[in-house]
Chain A
Amino acid sequence: DQQVKQNSPSLSVQEGRISILNCDYTNSMFDYFLWYKKYPAEGPTFLISISSIKDKNEDGRFTVFLNKSAKHLSLHIVPSQPGDSAVYFCAARATYSGAGSYQLTFGKGTKLSVIP
């Protein structure tokens, strides 16, 4: 049972345009969401996060939107640059007491290609 879904394995966007990466989740206990970016031969690096008490978080060219009722979040990159070409992972966490509160559940990732 896949609790975090990234239904688009790949996405191609022209440089300067907006990139929109989508993520859906099924577990209503998830209350903290993160996006990671991964280049080949490197580990994932944290990009941006959002708590469930917010519906938007912005950091420079990157904005994450959260729609709790739809259990959907999206990452917007504006404007897209060739250096943004990477695999983007959506991740979610449920806050509750105990050891399990550390567990992150990742989606399968979306490969973004920004074409110059």
Chain B
Amino acid sequence: EAQVTQNPRYLITVTGKKLTVTCSQNMNHEYMSWYRQDPGLGLRQIYYSMNVEVTDKGDVPEGYKVSRKEKRNFPLILESPSPNQTSLYFCASTSDPIQPQHFGDGTRLSIL
């Protein structure tokens, strides 16, 4: 089954404790992206990647890092999480920019 898998689905942690949210897709897609969804703000892009070792900032990259060492994986790294990063995060992938993206089921992060 074609899917985008995120882990963990839920995480409660404390300010400053480094965390990584993993994202993996089994569709051999070149393009992957991270979004955050906040009430009243919709979906905002954090980072995206067009291929292995090619990443670029989206609209709200501050406080986040990404890496793309393998085609299937695109982890999101919060080096020093802060409460304003409490949000619902989605990873997405697509084979081509003109094609619709496939989204994971989301990761709800709470930073205390």
State whether A106 and B42 are in contact (beta carbons under 8 Å apart), knowing that A43-B4, A46-B100, A99-B54 are contacts in the complex: yes
Q: Is B105 touching A42 in the complex (CB atoms < 8 A)?
A: yes
CA distance A93 to B58 in the complex (A): 13
Give 1 or 0 for each of B75-112: 1 = CB within 8 Å of chain A CB: 00000000000000010100001101111111000000
Q: Is the CB of B58 within 8 A of A32?
A: no
Q: How many residues of B contact A (CB 8 A)?
A: 27
Question: Chain B residues with Cβ under 8 A from A44's Cβ?
Answer: 43, 90, 103
Q: How far is B97's CA from A34's CA once the two chains are assembled, in angstroms?
A: 12
A102 touching B50 in the complex, CB below 8 Å, given contacts A45-B103, A49-B100: yes
> How many Å lie between the Cα of A75 and that of B98 in the bound state?
20
A109 touches B42 (CB 8 A): yes
Residues of B close to A32: CB separation below 8 A: 98
Partner of B44, one of A6, A43, A106: A106
CA distance A105 to B104 in the complex (A): 18
Q: Which residues from chain B contact A45 at a C-beta distance below 8 Å?
A: 103
Residues of B within 8 A of A6 (CB): 42
A34 to B47, CA, bound (A): 20
User: Which residues of chain B come closer than 8 Å to A93, judged between CB atoms?
Assistant: 97-98
Q: Which residues of A contact B24 (CB under 8 A)?
A: none
User: In the complex, which residues of chain A have a beta carbon less than 8 angstroms from the beta carbon of B102?
Assistant: 46
Interface residues, chain B, with chain A CB atoms under 8 Å away? 4, 31, 33, 35, 40-45, 48, 50, 54, 56, 58-59, 90, 92, 97-98, 100-106
Ordered by A's residue number, 26 sampled pairs between the chains whose C-beta atoms are within 8 Å are A6-B42, A32-B98, A41-B106, A43-B4, A43-B90, A43-B106, A44-B90, A46-B101, A49-B100, A89-B42, A89-B43, A93-B97, A95-B97, A102-B31, A102-B33, A103-B48, A103-B58, A103-B59, A104-B45, A105-B45, A105-B59, A106-B44, A107-B42, A108-B41, A108-B42, A109-B42
